[in-house]
Amino acid sequence: MQDHLNLSQLEKQLSHYSLNNFKEQFPALKDNNLIYFDSAATSLRPQAVLDAFNQGYGLAGNVERSLHTQALTDLVQAGKQALVNYLDPENPEANRLTYTQNSTESLNLLAQTLGEFWEAQQKNQPQAKYYILVTQSNHHANLLPWIKLCHSYDFLELKTIPLLADLSLDLEYLRQFCQEHSQELLLVSLSAVDNANGMVHPIGKIKEILSTYAPHTWLSIDNAQGSCFNAVYLEKSHSPQGWQADFLVGSLHKMFGLTGIGYLYISPRIAELSGKQDKNLALLAKFFNLNSQKTPEVEEKKLEHLNIPLPGNSLHHQWVGGGFVKSINLREPCYQLQESNPFLVSGTPNINALVTVASNLNWLTAQPLKQLYEYTHTLQKYFLARLASLPQVANLSQSKNICQELQQNQAPVVILPSFGHHISLSIEDGLDIDLGQFLAQHNVVARVGKHCAYPYHEFLGVDSTLRFSLAPFNTKADVDTTIDLISQFLEQNL
């Protein structure tokens, strides 16, 4: 699709889309004239998901516990299978998926589990330094757990892949870092799609760099913003094997689903690390460049007898309790778990939400996702073009050197680089909060703030931004109404 079309060309393009009343499926939009531009925070739910919720709520009992609740368990399992089919169509393995509450919980769980694992490993090399790489545009959910981890363990250091002047990632920095620290770089953790501006990162290319220069480094993808159009982004990643992430996390509430369900999906090479210790020693020794050093023999014998993976040689469940215990011995004391996926968490899950996953995913995958993605991107371009035509607005959406141009800019409203389905504005002196409130009074939902991306805003040198995040249920009429309101506000306040 061309990116520089004028208004009339964009209008014409929009009129060619026939989305079969996609919008009608969302009850929240039916009765109250709501114009919802906050789908990057949480998407609205279609009737199909609400029906599944109502049906599931009537089913009694717990899951994976007793025979009388087999139907409930089957429903939850079907949801898990549907999710992995969607996330990993080439190799969908339900037992590599863990349900959490949201992406934030998935990332915290991941950080805690890996921290414990790495700590046990590095005991063999107490002086060594190891690195975790994040990006400056990551959401806080993908920054704070790693910062916290680096505070807990002296041998870990956090490094940042810098942003370039056009807001893309400095992949040359990544390449050099991998080359220089191929043995010490433990993990690269970044978003597939940034939440503040919608930038889609070239995950296929990043994977290629890792495979070439630091093949033992693990790749963790925060797919919170990407999950909804997974297949479209996979295609764009230019990698025939897809992302091949070692860890993939996301939240169903950004996929037209319910709040309270997140996921953490692991690659086969990570799943291997949860098995028996012997299989893993060679792999880990290679990774840490060590001779395999086992824990003291007595300890090993004791644990081997109970078939428990040795500390340091395997990834370990963080939250244990009821749910998947195979045996427990209070004399030793020891336990053995049934499940091999090291990220599974014990206890009763969010059943009321989980029973909707199968319907949620069946509904999502039945939609013409590529067409919906393209329609929404065309609508975003139309929105940008209409904004750019307002006299108070400077259009820096295509800027290749945004920080410098922002400094030189005199206009009270600036369109910042905005990608995919996002529109990002910088507005002078706190007027963005007033504009956000004005829009809300007229039933238009947008978001003002730093969008849990403080380092990104620091990079731009702006206090906050006004973000519109679009979805396929948004229409040209939504945009026209919003532009009229923005124009009215700016005329009254500037």
Ligand X SMILES: Cc1ncc(COP(=O)(O)O)c(C=O)c1O
- The nearest distance, CB 331 to ligand X, in angstroms, is 41
Contacts of ligand X in 246-285 (CB under 6 A): 251
Task: Return the range that interacts with ligand X (CB under 6 A); candidates 68-76, 110-118, 135-143, 160-168.
Answer: 135-143
Contacts of ligand X in 140-179 (CB under 6 A): 141-142
HSE-CB at 462 with a 13 A cutoff on CA atoms is 33
Outline where DSSP puts E strands in 271-420: 325-329, 334-337, 393-395, 413-415
- The nearest distance, CB 134 to ligand X, in angstroms, is 12
Instruction: Report DSSP letters for 113-172, one per residue.
Output: HHHHHHHHHHTTSTT--EEEEEETT--GGGTHHHHHHHHH-TTEEEEEEPBPTTSSB-HH
Residue 141 contacts residue 226 (beta carbons within 8 Å)? no
- The nearest distance, CB 140 to ligand X, in angstroms, is 8
**Quick one: which of 13, 108, 135, 195 contacts ligand X (CB under 6 A)?**
195
- The nearest distance, CB 444 to ligand X, in angstroms, is 20
Residue for token pair 């505070």: 151
Contacts of 164 (CB under 8 A, 6+ apart): 170
Asked if 424 interacts with ligand X (CB under 6 A), we say no
Residue 99 DSSP code: E
**Quick one: which of 13, 103, 108, 230 contacts ligand X (CB under 6 A)?**
103
Asked if 224 interacts with ligand X (CB under 6 A), we say yes
Our measurement of the distance from residue 59's CA atom to the centroid of its chain's CA atoms, rounded to an integer in Å, reads: 31
Longest dimension (CA), the chain: 79
Cα 337 from Cα 79, distance rounded (Å): 23
Task: Return the range that interacts with ligand X (CB under 6 A); candidates 49-57, 205-213, 217-225, 385-393.
Answer: 217-225
Number of residues that bind ligand X (CB under 6 A): 13
Contacts of ligand X in 6-45 (CB under 6 A): 41
Residue whose CB is less far from ligand X, 122 or 142 = 142
**Quick one: which of 113, 225, 230, 313 contacts ligand X (CB under 6 A)?**
225
Task: Return the range that interacts with ligand X (CB under 6 A); candidates 110-118, 137-145, 174-182, 391-399.
Answer: 137-145
Our measurement of the distance from residue 344's CA atom to the centroid of its chain's CA atoms, rounded to an integer in Å, reads: 19
Tell me the per-residue interface mask from 342 to 381 with ligand X, x by CB under 6 A, - otherwise: ----------------------------------------
Asked if 139 interacts with ligand X (CB under 6 A), we say yes
Cα 70 from Cα 390, distance rounded (Å): 59
Cα 213 from Cα 326, distance rounded (Å): 41
Residue 262 contacts residue 247 (beta carbons within 8 Å)? no
Residues lying near ligand X in the complex (CB under 6 A) = 41, 102-104, 139, 141-142, 191, 195, 222, 224-225, 251
